[in-house]
Structure 1
Amino acid sequence: MNAPIPAVAGVSDREVEAFLVREARLLDDRKFEEWMALFVPEGYYWAPARIGQASPRDEVSLIFDDREFMQNRIRRLRHPKVYGQQPASRAVRQVSNVVIDERDAATGEIEVRSVFFMFEHRPMLPAPLQRVFAGEYRHRLRPDGESFRMVWKKALLANCDSSFEPIFLYF
């Protein structure tokens, strides 16, 4: 395991952790547009479909969304006729074990690892669906004023190679 990189240029593990907790809260509160605004314009979200998957472009992923796909997914989540989300899923995420792994001296960007748990409750009839997702987040963050923007986010589910009911929400 890599030792945490000391704070450089005023960036601390605590500041990064506060950003990741805020990001998780936006998803929990279904503020998807605000969450998407945390990405740089060329940013993307990736959830690999298998452990060790090297690229989202060479094989199928659980989710691989650039900005255009994020906008489409969010639009579908907001549409009143998306019956798989009527009523809407409720989710809570916990983010912990935040560590700054790398720092790019040229750009100031940092790569961060953290652990997450996400509980999803879909209040469907005749029986609600409840499920737990857990794994590791990896973020590449670009300093932006007093905060950060996400260059990319990768959600590595511990059980990514399992079969799943349809996935509507970001992990």
Structure 2
Amino acid sequence: MITEKTITDFIYREAELLDTMQWQVWLDLFHPEGRYWMPLEWQQQDPVLQPSLMYEDLLLLKVRVERLAGERTFSQKPKSRCHHLLQAPQIVACDTAAGVFRARTSYIYTETRGDMLERYSGWASHDLVQVGDALKIKLKRVDLVNFDAPFGNIQLFM
């Protein structure tokens, strides 16, 4: 049975996987139809007809992970590292009968590579579905506070 604690533990575990660069295990958290979305506008509703910072399906996520893990990826020497500082996730929807769940989490995210340090703040929304006894990410939406600022290359995943 999926409980609110199951959902919050899932979100904390996802952040830990990203922080420890366990890319393949992180990818395994996604539903085959899962998406990773970073809107370009405040309260943006459409990732397809409006431009986004990122809108990636599982195939694109796998390509990015392969690039990050590759030995010949010279733009990742030294490798980027990250840290997620999360507030307690707020459970927005918990429909155990339908196996559909949603949570929203405020965060501060730090990404570093060499002597460069970037810090971002925002909210991560997780739309989760139950597959067997496990949760899978159907949509991870990352809304930045400063969505309209000029950005350098965001190398990792928030």
**Structure 2-normalised TM-score?**
0.91
| 1:27-38 alignment runs, 5 A limit | 27-38=18-29
Q: What is the aligned counterpart of 1:108 among 99, 103, 117?
A: 99
Q: Which has the larger radius of gyration?
A: 1
Aligned CA RMSD, in angstroms, stands at 1.6
Q: What one-letter code is carried by the residue in structure 2 that aligns with 1:153?
A: K
Letter in 2 for 1:144: V
Partner Cα separation in structure 2 for residue 78 and residue 142 of structure 1: 28
Please point out which of 61, 69, 72 is paired with 2:60: 69
Once the 2 structures are TM-superposed, how far is the Cα of residue 33 of structure 1 from its aligned partner? 1.1
Please say if 1:41 is aligned against 2:28.
no
1:22: which partner in 2? Answer: 13
Measured after TM superposition, the shift of residue 50 of structure 1 is: 1.6
Aligned length: 158
Identity %: 29
- Residue 97 of structure 1 and its aligned partner are, at CA, apart by 2.9
Greater mean alpha carbon deviation, residues 33-42 or residues 90-99: 90-99
Q: Which residue of structure 2 aligns with residue 156 of structure 1?
A: 143
**Structure 2 runs not aligned, ≥5 long:** none
Deviations 1:131-165 (A, max 9, x none): 11111111111123443111111011111111111
Segments ≥4 residues shifted beyond 6 Å: none
Which stretches in structure 1 are left out of the alignment for 5+ residues? 1-9
Mapped to 1, the partners of 2:121 and 2:48 lie a distance apart of 24
- TM score, norm. by length of structure 1: 0.85
Tell me which of 72, 79, 88 is aligned to 1:81.
Answer: 72
| Cα distance, 1:104 vs structure 2 | 4.4
